[in-house]
Amino acid sequence: MHHNGLRTALLLGLLSALIITLGAWLGGGTGVQIALVLALAGNGIAYFFSDRIALSAMRARPVSEVEQPTLYRIVRDLSTEARQPMPRLYMSPTIQPNAFATGRNPRRAVVCVTYGLTQLLDERELRGVVGHELSHVYNRDILISSVAGALATMITWLSYVAVFFGGSDDDEGPGFLGALLMMVLGPVAAGMVQMAISRSREFQADESAARLTGDPLALASALRKIEMGVRRLPLPENSRLTSASHMMIANPFSGSGLGRMFSTHPPTAERVARLERMAGYRR
């Protein structure tokens, strides 16, 4: 976890520096000031409102123990086992099976599952998925994912702004071709940063969940079912869902074209293989 914190600080520093550099290239001193404000604003919004943004994107609402007694029992038992506060529970009406965790810290954490997930998985598999999301909370992944997503969005936004400021004929600024290049490379850079942050953390959350639940094969089985469910019912790639997609246990999109390029999730087969090795499973 301490190594994660160091990598997190370095990645955020690089992201912020890239935003400021892009601002300087686009607008000189004024551009640096604007980029700095944007970077700070992005961090602030992500820190204080990341949970609301993600929950709103999935149209999620809080659920009571009366509505979801099994889910409540699983979350309560695992939180007690980990000696951590119980997070708030939300449910999205989405039919696609998926789940994510968000919030600033374990005391303000939220675990959200889709309606489709509760219908697809049995209790043992649901326990594995909840363990995965709680592991993101305990490993302090949820805040960094939100902040990185917000800063990456700033990079993408600046790359598109470059088009409007890059058409001058003098030698100042990036020029139209440079602006066009930024429009293409900006989203790629943002996606690569998210990928670098998220892929290793998914593996770690899988491993932590397996240890917390004591049942690696349950999570492996859940991941197989979720992948098939996502393939049958991919979500539309709109901007609101894209901002929350890297938090989910599985890539909610179809995985074709740009969706594959910006995927922040490792292949399900590799995740399952790692979990099976943890369980000593041999085919």
- Catalytically active residues are 133
| Bridge partners, residue 179, by sequence | none
Strands ordered across the beta sheet of 110-114: 61-62, 88-92, 110-114, 99-102
Taking phi first (over 0 means left), then psi (-120 to 50 degrees means alpha), and beta for anything else, what does residue 101 get? beta
| Bridge partners, residue 112, by sequence | 90, 100
Q: Are β-strands 61-62 and 99-102 bridged in parallel, bridged antiparallel, or unpaired?
A: unpaired
**Dihedral of the CA atoms 128, 134, 138, 142 (nearest 10)?**
120
Taking phi first (over 0 means left), then psi (-120 to 50 degrees means alpha), and beta for anything else, what does residue 255 get? left
C-alpha distance from residue 27 to each of 51, 95, 137, 239 (Å): 33, 45, 39, 26
What are phi and psi for residue 143, nearest 5 degrees? -70, -45
Which residues lie closer than 8 Å to 44 by C-beta, 6 or more apart? none
Contact 195, 263 (CB under 8 A): yes
